[in-house]
Amino acid sequence: MSFIDNLITNTIRADVRKANSYNVPDSSGYIKLDSMENPYQLPVELRAELGRRLADAALNRYPVPSYAALKRAICAKLGVPTGYDVILGNGSDELISIVAMATAHQDRRAVILAPVPAFVMYQRSAQFAGMDFVGVALKSDFSLDMPAMLAAIAEHKPAVLFLAYPNNPTGNLYDAADMAELIDALGDTGIAVVDEAYEPFARTSFMGHLEEFENLVVMRTLSKLGLAGIRLGYMSAAPALLAQFDKVRPPYNVNVLTQAAAEFALEHLDVLNKQAEQLNAARTELAAELAKLPGVEVYPSAANFLTFKVPNSEDACAKLTGAKVLVKNLGKMHELLANCVRVTVSTPEENAAFLTALKAALK
């Protein structure tokens, strides 16, 4: 064994040594429909104005860690109830890991629970924080298996339950009454994190339930709305609970360029919301087109992506990649997703190119 091999064996955790890095395929030259990005940029006039704003940002200074102006804008424009604040993350990915770090007890194995298939970062963050992850399978229509979820809550007393609303990678909204029942069942031994990454498309939210449930955290991101590149997530909860998470947050985790860009974008939220509406209309059209294809089953979606089943997802995705269209093959992720594919809804041109390539792939 070489020095470096010994060093790694002696210092790096066994589970980290065995893990893979989060895989993001190279997408240059591809129509990129694998990551739920908004295909539209801000209009050019706005981008010029944004450029001037960014030029004024004090790059020589650390960010002011209270982020007061940006937080005020988020609370005012994005429906955070009066009396509630937010904390900010370098994407909601960072907030997920902050939640895990703050709840990973050192004297016992704490549990993160989530219905599965779910967003992969819940499991990864649990693992790297030293927590146990318990996944409870959804029903075949991707709804919550309530008896199984309630039994898992009773058995494992999870510190955290993640519920993505709508869920990624299935696209559906869980029944809100079911979710409320689960949040209640956690009681004062578990925190429910409702991850609303796709709220700009779903237009329904648990933000209004914060007063009702003191163990509720509502998490969102600007990524899917059209600002994936700036990396900004936010979450709200009862002030005393939020203050605990804020202790774990790295003090300058949101940089000044992100801060300036987000403040600017929120001043022009109507532009982004219109893009989201356009994408919702495109989703309806694309779902109808997909449903017409023989052998294809499309699942209901409240997000900016569609999940659908084909006879052979491995083969279909390989052919789509060959046609320079990147989608996500979900087939190996979970047995409920056998032969499923996830496609981001995009511009009319890209959606048409995807459909053409898919039709050829299914021939």
Ligand X SMILES: *Cc1c(COP(=O)(O)O)cnc(C)c1O
What is the helix (H) or strand (E) element at residue 202, kind and residue range? helix 199-202
Q: If you search the block for the tokens 């979710």, which residue do you land on?
A: 179
Q: Is there binding between residue 195 and ligand X (CB under 6 A)?
A: yes
Write out the H or E segment, with its range, that includes residue 236: strand 233-237
Number of residues that bind ligand X (CB under 6 A): 13
Find the shortest distance in angstroms from Cβ 6 to ligand X. Answer: 35
Q: Which C-beta is closer to ligand X: that of 229 or that of 348?
A: 229
Using the minimum distance from each CB to ligand X, give the nearer residue, 96 or 357.
Answer: 96
Instruction: By CB under 6 A, tell whether 119 contacts ligand X.
Output: yes
Q: What is the DSSP track for 100-120?
A: HHHH--SSS--EEEEEES--H
For the chain, state the CA radius of gyration.
21
CB of 110 to ligand X, least distance (A): 21
Question: ∠ CA(224), CA(128), CA(27), 5° rounding?
Answer: 40
CA distance 230 to 222: 8
Candidates 204, 346, 326, 351; CA nearest to 279 is 346
Query: Of 121 and 152, which CB lies nearer to ligand X in the complex structure?
Result: 121
Shortest approach of ligand X to residue 274 CB, angstroms? 21
The span of 85-93, 177-185, 207-215, 329-337 binding ligand X (CB under 6 A) equals: 85-93
Q: Which residues are CB-contacts of 197 (< 8 A; sequence separation ≥ 6)?
A: 92, 119, 164, 168, 219, 220, 221, 223, 224
Contact 120, 35 (CB under 8 A): no
β-strand pairing of 233-237 with 297-298 = unpaired
Q: Which of 63, 91, 200, 331 binds ligand X (CB under 6 A)?
A: 91
- The verdict on 92 binding ligand X (CB under 6 A) reads yes
In this chain, which of 97, 215, 223, 301 binds ligand X, going by CB under 6 A?
223
Measure the CA–CA gap between 199 and 220, rounded to whole angstroms.
8
Sequence-distant (6+) residues with CB within 8 A of 71 are 85, 86, 88, 234
| 91 vs 331, beta carbon nearer ligand X | 91
In angstroms, what is the minimal distance from the CB of 152 to ligand X? 20
The stretch among 44-52, 60-68, 89-97, 186-194 that binds ligand X (CB under 6 A) is 89-97
**197 lines the binding site for ligand X (CB under 6 A):** yes
Residue 168 binds to ligand X (criterion: CB under 6 A)? yes
117 binds ligand X (CB under 6 A): no
CB of 252 to ligand X, least distance (A): 18
- Which neighbouring-strand residues pair with 220? 234
**Restricting to residues 45-84, which ones interact with ligand X according to CB under 6 A?**
none
164 binds ligand X, rule: CB under 6 A: yes
- Cβ nearer to ligand X, comparing 198 with 354: 198
Count of beta carbons in the 10 Å neighbourhood of residue 137 = 14
Burial of 179 (0-12, 13-18, 19+ CB in 10 A): buried
Closer by beta carbon to ligand X, 156 or else 328: 328
221 touches ligand X (CB under 6 A): yes
Binding site for ligand X (CB under 6 A): 36, 91-93, 119, 164, 168, 195, 197, 221, 223, 228, 233
